[in-house]
Amino acid sequence: MDIHVVQPGDTIYRLAQQYGVPMERLLQDNQLPDPSRLVVGQTIVVQYPELTHTVKSGDSLYSIAQMHGVTVSQLFRNNPVLQGRDLIYPGQVIVVRYQGEPRGGLTVNAYAYPYIDRSLFRSTLPYLSQLTPFTYRFDGDDLIPLQDEFLVNTALQSRVVPVFHLSNLDDQEQFSGELAHELLTDPEDQRDLIEEILETVDRRGYRWVDVDFEGVRPEDSTAYAQFLARLRQALTSRGLPLTAALVAKTSANQPGRLYEGIDYRLISQSVDFALLMTYDWGNLSGPPMAVAPLPQVRQVVQYALTEFSPNQLFLGIPNYGYDWTLPYRPGSRARSVSNVEAVQLAWNRRVSIRYDEQAQAPWFRYVDDQGAEHEVWFEDARSIQAKLNLAFDSNLYGVGYWNLDRPFPQNWVVLNSMAQIRSEM
């Protein structure tokens, strides 16, 4: 795999000639909405097929996979044009294997809202080991229902592990320290909630559990770890692992409302895995900067490795960017954008995309129709490659994406090239 950064004068035709690959493959792998709209600074992922299969009458993906000793999921990953559907036709060329070896194995998790576009969901499911529908909430000792049937059932059909997700989101869509406090100080409510979690896990078919409490009060840090330990003990009898999604910390005593109630050391003894939420340095209400600048992400990983073993950890990866109006003023809010939308915005405003080598993230500025200047930070193939390299260099167990609800075709091509995606079923 190569990652090409578009230069002035580049066209898809010229890039196909330069890299010796069919133009159609560049279009399919990068899912470019309009091949004539290349932005200077945009990334194009180039893959080199090593083994292909030309579809004959009577072939199916299953028979092709059997013939070549690969899985159907791998065929879907190698051929994003299929969009996760077994709809092939005679004469179609299917890539069985690409040149180059992956760096190693990763377990790949991703969050998704129940209302995710179903075509987008099906097309990205082959790249996952786990799927986490977001989110079950609670009121006292009662779970609030989630319309998760389609996501869970489709994941199971695709041999992707569905992960039950519990959060302390309140009815205002905010993480509530008060809601967590009420639960963590009431053993009876904890017992009843754990029983309801187990019942829901059994009934829905979940194979894993993930707890994401944010804004936990400092005085509740020990009680939170104890709650996780009780839940883990209950899950162990069913052979189900427990993950805790953790705010990104760089030290044990890091000050701040988000950090003081999350004790990495205690939690490491209470769960099987932890997902590091290594994103949102650049956020809706903060100043413009990379969403997940690599030096800061690396600091979190380095600290986490002092409390957890590498094979307990997932590295969080963002699938989004932000558009800030300049000059930034405290109290103002950015607009969330998808990574694909960011490139389209750069094209529409006729600006080039830059790349911050320290943050390992793309960005650009533009002026809107009202004359206001904007700054946009997002993710591209280079920034994803840098994060995956960090996960491999640190021997982490896996990666976790927040979230699947926006398309990001290049991410899955880069992931497929770099990683052997584990099956957890």
* Catalytically active residues, by annotation: 214
Helix axis angle for 409-418 and 339-348, nearest 10°, is 130
Calculate the CA 420 to chain-centre distance: 16
Residue 275, sorted as left (phi over 0), alpha (psi -120 to 50) or beta, turns out to be beta
Residue 272, CA distances (Å) to 184, 243, 249, 250 in order? 20, 6, 19, 21
HEC readout, 19-44: HCCCHHHHHHHHCCCCCCCCCCCCEE
The secondary structure of 385-425 as a DSSP string is HHHHHHHHHTT-SEEEEE-TTS--HHHHHHHHHHEEEPP--
d(CA 208, CA 130): 9
In the structure encoding, which two tokens stand for residue 10, read together? 């580049």
Amino acid type, 270: S
| Contact assessment for residue 410 and residue 45, using Cβ atoms and an 8 Å cutoff | yes
Cα–Cα distance between 25 and 22 in angstroms, integer?
A: 5
Cβ neighbours for 202, distance < 8 A, ≥ 6 positions apart: 238
Residue 420 identity:
Q
Q: Tokens 């036709």 correspond to what residue?
A: 89
- Kindly tell me the burial class for residue 33, based on how many C-beta atoms sit within 10 Å of its own C-beta (0-12, 13-18, 19 or more): exposed
Alpha carbon distance 116, 406 (integer Å): 8
Give, in order, the Cα–Cα distances in Å from 155 to each of 9, 112, 254: 43, 12, 38
Q: How many CB atoms lie within 10 A of CB 302?
A: 11
